[in-house]
């Protein structure tokens, strides 16, 4: 005799309705993952996130099953016309589907024109759910190198200057594909987006504290750069290569490796003993460079983006009932 199907109910609660104790436990798990796996100290960022939850300036959902057990959570906000989903943690495909469906069902997100997602790859079914909603998806590799050997700095390389902000933005516009919906920065590749991105790296703290003395550039004539390496600090002894870019006409000359070596030396002088970075899965040339200078993979992320899906084409798996409270 066939066994009856089991219907599992998943309810997505506004995270402001969840107890502070439960939210602190969820934060703690993620904080440990970022610190232990990625060497990234996000203590102040979690404090800001909790402040946003309390004030209602950052939205979030917590998925709870019919037994009252938390199975996942996510947070999001609409900023400059984009719905930004900053992370998604889920124990099953059903939870992943429920969280994404309810984020997109939130009336406050309907003013967005586009969606960006950046999350660990371990949420079951995440890639399929994002693609089902018409979003472009790429995998990003998080790499780390332990030990920053100091090697001679190549000729023509100099330390970062505040005057390099706009030339660096122009360089990135030349170095990257004109547009990439899955790219978590400057998806349309406009000059304004690149300037905003560089300003965030240099003046903000979302990617760590900028280290001008560990960041280097190579000139390419007055007011123009051939290459740049921007470095931040993400932990007491961990530097992060937030961006490395080489203009197309300056590639295959060893300039990228020379800039990374200069960044190693600069970060080492500031007390750092390791360096990390993120690289897109389709960027084979960059991945080959980093492997050649002994960076090793420690984690992967999903990056996705595209036009806001006005109608969801996704069907919740496993006869899941999705409601929101």
pLDDT of the chain, 325 residues: tens digit per residue: 454 444 458 999 999 999 999 999 999 999 999 999 999 998 888 999 999 999 999 999 999 998 999 999 999 999 989 999 988 999 999 999 999 999 999 999 999 999 999 999 999 999 999 999 999 999 999 999 999 977 666 678 999 999 999 999 999 999 999 999 999 999 999 999 999 999 999 999 889 999 999 999 999 989 999 999 999 999 999 999 999 999 999 998 899 999 999 999 999 999 999 999 999 999 998 999 999 999 999 999 999 999 999 754 444 433 344 445 5
Average pLDDT, the chain: 91
pLDDT at 201: 96
Sorted by sequence, the CB contacts under 8 Å of residue 99 that are 6+ apart come out as: 12, 61, 63, 72, 73, 74, 88, 90
144-299: CATH class: alpha beta
Report in angstroms the alpha-carbon separations of 194 from 179, 185, 254: 11, 8, 25
Domain borders along the chain are 9-135+309-324, 144-299
What's the pTM value of the predicted model, to 2 decimals? 0.89
At the fourth CATH level, the homologous superfamily of domain 9-135+309-324 is: Gcn5-related N-acetyltransferase (GNAT) (3.40.630.30)
CATH topology of 9-135+309-324 equal to that of 144-299? yes
């Amino acid at each position: 005799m066939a066994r009856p199907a089991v219907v599992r109910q998943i309810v997505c609660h506004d995270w402001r309705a969840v107890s502070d104790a439960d939210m602190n436990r969820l934060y703690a798990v993620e904080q440990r993952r970022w610190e232990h796996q990625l060497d990234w100290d996000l203590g102040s960022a979690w404090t800001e996130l909790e402040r946003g939850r309390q004030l209602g300036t950052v939205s979030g959902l917590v998925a709870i099953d019919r037994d009252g057990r938390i199975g996942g959570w996510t947070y999001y906000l609409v900023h400059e016309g984009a719905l930004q989903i900053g992370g998604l943690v889920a124990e099953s495909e059903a939870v992943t589907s429920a969280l994404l469906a309810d984020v997109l069902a939130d009336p406050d997100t309907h003013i967005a024109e586009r969606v960006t997602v950046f999350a660990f790859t371990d949420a079951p079914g995440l890639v399929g759910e994002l693609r089902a909603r018409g979003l472009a998806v790429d995998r990003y590799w998080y790499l780390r190198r332990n030990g920053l050997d100091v090697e001679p700095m190549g000729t023509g390389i100099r330390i970062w200057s505040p005057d390099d902000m706009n030339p660096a933005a122009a360089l990135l516009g030349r170095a990257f594909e004109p547009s990439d919906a899955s790219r978590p920065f400057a998806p349309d590749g406009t000059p304004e987006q690149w300037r905003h991105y560089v300003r965030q790296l240099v003046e903000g703290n979302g990617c760590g504290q900028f280290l001008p003395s560990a960041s280097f550039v190579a000139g390419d004539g007055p007011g123009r750069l051939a290459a740049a390496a921007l470095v931040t600090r993400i932990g007491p002894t961990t530097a992060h290569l937030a961006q490395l870019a080489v203009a197309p006409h300056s590639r295959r000359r060893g300039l990228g490796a020379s800039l990374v070596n200069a960044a190693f030396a600069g970060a080492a002088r500031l007390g750092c003993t390791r360096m990390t970075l993120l690289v897109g899965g389709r960027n084979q040339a960059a991945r080959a460079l980093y492997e050649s200078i002994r960076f090793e993979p420690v984690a992967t992320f999903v990056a996705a983006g595209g036009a806001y899906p006005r109608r969801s084409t996704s069907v919740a798996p496993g006869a899941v009932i999705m409601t929101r409270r």
